Copies of this chain bind each other. A is one copy, B any other.
Amino acid sequence: MTEKYMFGRPFETDAVVVDVPEAQGALPYGSVSVTDGFCFTYRMGEDDIVYGLGEANRGINKRGFCYVSDCTDEPNHLEDLRSLYGAHNFLVVAGRETFGLFFDYPAAMTFDVGFTRTELLQVTCRRADLALFVLTGESPYDIVRQFRALIGRSYLAPKFAFGFGQSRWGYAAQEEVRGVAEQHRRHHVPLDMIYLDIDYMQDYKDFTISEKGFPDFSALVEEMKQQHVHLVPIIDAGVKVEKGYDVYEEGVENGYFCVRGDGSPFVGVVWPGETHFPDVLNPDARAWFGRNYRRLTEQGIEGFWNDMNEPAIFYTPEGIADAKEELSRFLAREIRGESLWGLKDRLAGLANRPEDYRSFFHRVNGQMVCHEDVHNLYGCYMTRAASEALEEIAPGKRFLLFSRSSYIGMHRYAGIWTGDNKSWWSHLLLNLKMLPSLNMCGFLYVGADLGGFGADTSRDLLLRWLALGVFTPLMRNHSAVGTREQEFYRFERVEDFRHVIGVRYRLLPYLYSEYMKAALGNDLYFKPLAFVYPEDEIAVHTEDQLMLGDEIMIAPVYTQNAIGRTVYLPEDMLFVKFLPDGEISRERLAPGLHFVRVAVNEVPLFIRSGRCIPLADIAESVDEIDTGSLQVLGFEGAEYLLYEDDGESTDCRLEGHCRIVR
């Protein structure tokens, strides 16, 4: 059951798609104070677990830390970082009392989940203008499914998007792109996508193509498609200020950009230099911005990633003016350590300044809305702009689309990738732990930069991370300019990469089927063990293994130099290893703890008792997977209900698309 409590005058975010009548009376759980902003307080039981918060730091159980929903471009995902790129204000308290909470509020919001005081859950924000949904159900899992129905069906990715993608910030010319494709095909390492980061554009201008790097872009797109490779360009939020650049001119002319208090377009400096931000909260501006994607779809593009849409701001002219003044004062004086550090922090603080976010406005239904009050919606609405436009451009066709910044509601339009992680083993584990939380908030098409974006990766880290990425809907190797190159062919013994990535394609019919079932059924693709084995206390507290669909459990190796790992089996399972020689080892394991050996070039998974999964032959692209001759892997006599469709059209339903495989 869902109850809605209204406070003040909430901004309509469109996160919720079901009309819930306003509840009367007191909250069933906790209490709210609105005297100084908004404060929800609940006293947790000692052993209560708190799930949710989507793209957030730390564990599956969110307890013991303080999180702030405040979409931020922060590339250092340290253990004490409170804000990432998304704002997913849904959580489930499970224990003494079990209930869900969704705080539909698009500005900064703080979740102190037993950090300051072990037993206190406190949710606070500056303005008491929000809708609070309280969900009750028979279990955390049940509550999550109710919530998913409340916020509407998740984005359906095209089938090709379940292939492997190679990316690097730095690909700037068609020769490089061709080289990437050529290396994969030559070494028979599967590939379905090559991602284009900002360097494919002309001077970082949205919807343009570098003339020098890509003299005939549409021919390249077609050439790649012949090789079953989709090019997936990035689109950034900021539109470059440049006379004669038509997107800029159109936006200014029609008042489609966010404005300062005086009505002039707001200037934020990002990659292209000075930019304006499309006012994606204004329906006309949103439709206009979205129409621009056609410039690329007309060249054959079928997928996009939206970036820098928190929106990230390197600095503003106003910020620089302040800083220059301070620098001058500094230069005129004697310098001491403190002032030096202060100055450094001051320069760093020019990025994503609260003052800047407070200084510009959206025009929504004739009202000026301060950006700060709706900050967390920007990436969501930029991506909605793309999605709605793509549906107009090619009705009924699925596009690959994912975004960095997000708010709940965006899950209906696109997926997300989890932003600028690092080549750290701890980020492999963070990747794993974040997955079920993202699913709970509706984001099913998700993945992290495998191998790590920042810092230098190593061969073993990349291989181990790929062995997790085999299971994430978005499977992409991506890294930053200036770091060690990490395409598979930069390392010795390429056959190991061929094998590990190849396993993805053998499993793809299962993974795609489970994805579609989860999306169409408002269900989870990744589940904590706790949702499947709620009576098993060890399973409930296991955070380094996940259930994937109804058939398998995954337990990747995430420590360096390990020869395997310990795994907890809540039930009888079949331990399956895809061996580098193409063989598959199977071992039936009893419930309990096991140390399983897993080499760096092997992919492990566990099939639940009495279940099986379909297995395809090796293929080098999604197009080439033959689902007509699937084997079955698992317990004897088991059968699997396979979802299958054309992988392209949005006309998806379980009826008529499922068949039994045994």
Contacts and interface: CB of A to CB of B under 8 A. Distances in A.
Interface of A: 49, 58-59, 61, 63-65, 78-80, 115, 117-118, 269-271, 273, 314-315, 320, 324, 327-328, 330-331, 335-337, 340, 343-344, 347-348, 350, 422-426, 455-456, 458-461, 492, 537-538, 541, 543, 559-564, 566, 568, 593-595
Nearest to A349: B344
A59 B273 CA distance: 43
Contacts of A336: 269, 273
Contacts of A561: 49, 59, 61, 63-64, 541
Nearest to A593: B593
A559 B432 CA distance: 15
Given A320-B340, A593-B594, 8 more contacts: A64-B460, A78-B422, A79-B425, A79-B426, A80-B424, A331-B331, A541-B561, A541-B564
A80 to B, nearest CB: 4
A560 B59 contact: yes
A595 B543 CA distance: 14
A430 to B, nearest CB: 10
A595 B347 CA distance: 49
B80 A273 contact: no
Contact of A543 (B115, B320, B460, B559): B559
Contacts of A562: 541
Nearest to A454: B80
Given A80-B423, A331-B331, A537 B560 contact: no
B314 A335 contact: no
Contact of A424 (B79, B328, B595): B79
B595 A80 contact: no
Given A64-B561, A343-B347, A460-B64, A80 B337 contact: no
Given A64-B560, A424-B80, A458-B65, A538 B595 contact: yes
B340 A59 contact: no
A83 to B, nearest CB: 15
Contacts of A426: 79, 426
Given A562-B541, A593-B566, A337 B115 contact: no
Contacts of A593: 566, 593-595
A579 to B, nearest CB: 16
A337 B320 contact: no
Given A80-B424, A422-B80, A595-B538, A560 B58 contact: yes
Contact of A273 (B337, B568, B595): B337
A340 B314 contact: yes
A376 B422 CA distance: 29
B563 A541 contact: yes
A49 B65 CA distance: 36
Q: Which 8 A-B pairs have the closest CB atoms?
A: A79-B424, A593-B593, A80-B455, A344-B347, A61-B561, A314-B337, A64-B560, A566-B566
30 contacts: A58-B560, A59-B560, A61-B561, A63-B560, A63-B561, A64-B561, A65-B560, A78-B78, A118-B459, A118-B460, A118-B492, A270-B337, A314-B340, A315-B337, A315-B340, A320-B335, A320-B340, A324-B335, A327-B330, A331-B331, A340-B347, A340-B350, A344-B347, A347-B347, A538-B595, A541-B562, A541-B563, A566-B568, A566-B593, A593-B594
